[in-house]
Each structure stands twice: as C-alpha cells, then as structure tokens.
Amino acid sequence: MIEVVTVDITTLDVSAVVNAANSTLLGGGGVDGAIHRAAGPRLQAHCGTLGGCPVGQARMTPGFGLRAPWIIHTVGPVWQGGSQGEADLLQACYTNSFELAVAKGLDSIAFPGISTGAYGYPVEQAAVLALETMQLYRFKVPRIVACCFSDRDARVYGKLLSGSTV
Ligand code: ADP
C-alpha cells in the first residue's frame, strides 16, 4: 500500500523514517534538522561514527528519541539542471533506502521528498521517480508512506498515484 500524507515526518508511526541528509550525515536544515531535533543528540553522536555517506547511497541508524525505531539517511543529488545524472542518483536514493529496509525485514517506511527542498529538484520529476520506485517495492514493504510537507506537493503525488495503472 502506498499512502500520500501531508504531515511532519517525525510524527509518523512507521518502522523507518527516511532522512534527506547531506553527505556529512551530521545534520542540517529542512527535514534533516527536524529529524535530528526529534531524535535528540545521540543521533548526531552516532552519525559522527559513520564517516559520511556518498550521494545516492543510504545508511541506517536507530531512531533514538524519534517515534520510528529506525532512520535511513540518504543523500540526494543537488539539482543542476538534470544533465548531471540527477535522476539516476535520486532513484538510487530510493532503491538503496528500500534495500536497507527489506534487509531488516521492516514492514513500513516513510519518505520525504528527497532533494526537493534546498537541493532544488523539481517536485513533479522527483515524484515520478519516487512513485515508480515505491511501486517496485510495494510487495516487499507492505506500507509505504510518501510524506509531503505541503498540500501542493501532496496534490502532485496524489495525481500521479491515481493516474498510475497499478
Ligand atoms: P533536500 O536538501 O534533500 O532538498 P530538504 O529538507 O530541504 O532536503 O527538503 C526535502 C523535502 O522535505 C521538501 O519537500 C521539504 O518541504 C520537506 N520537509 C521539510 N521538513 C519536513 C518535515 N518535518 N517532514 C516532512 N517533510 C519535510
């Protein structure tokens, strides 16, 4: 099942929340800041031992003070016009996040709109990739949440989802 919701991702009751991190994994603004604030300082201390994360890859940590027991940190590409491999890298973020969840046997996961904030990836294009990858994993992870942070983004996701053939 794929759900589209408009809510602060830190409030969700899911097995794993995906964080749109930066490559240091040490915290930042946007959803990253919100997740670090909700998880508490132990998250940053733990992330400091991981040695960062390249763009397109993902790392899993405990959720610490977060409601979700796990956080999957993935580093999205900065939008540079679309000709710098951004789509492949963004797809890799979703795929690698799902693979970590599947390897742990998790049954629910929530994704923010990776790269669509400060990193400037156009929401419509990012949402197509996100939903395509979610469709591929929907039988492996029973509950998948596309967590939007604005009604506008939720409408983009909702339209794409209702227009899909699966
Ligand atoms: P990036 O640097 O990957 O673009 P941002 O955090 O700037 O990451 O934005 C990614 C997406 O997360 C944007 O759609 C933004 O609106 C959304 N966002 C920001 N804060 C939250 C939150 N607390 N819960 C869910 N989504 C959020």
Residue 76: name the closest of 6, 23, 127 by CA: 23
What is the CA 3 to chain-centroid distance, rounded?
14
Q: pLDDT tens across 89-145, in order?
A: 999 999 999 999 999 999 999 999 999 999 999 999 999 999 999 999 999 999 999
Ligand 1: nearest atom to the Cα of 119: 4
* Residue-range definition of the domain harbouring residue 142: 2-162
Q: What is the mean pLDDT of residues 49-71?
A: 98
CATH, residue 138: 3.40.220.10
Q: How many domains does the chain divide into?
A: 1
Give the three-class secondary structure for 104. coil
Mean pLDDT value across the chain: 97
Distance 112 CA to ligand 1 centre (A): 6
| Percentage with pLDDT > 70 across the chain | 98
Q: Whose CA is nearest to atom 20 of ligand 1?
A: 31
pTM above 0.85, yes or no: yes
- Check residue 165 and give its pLDDT: 44
114 within ligand 1 shell (Cβ under 6 A): yes
The residues facing 75 across adjacent strands are 21
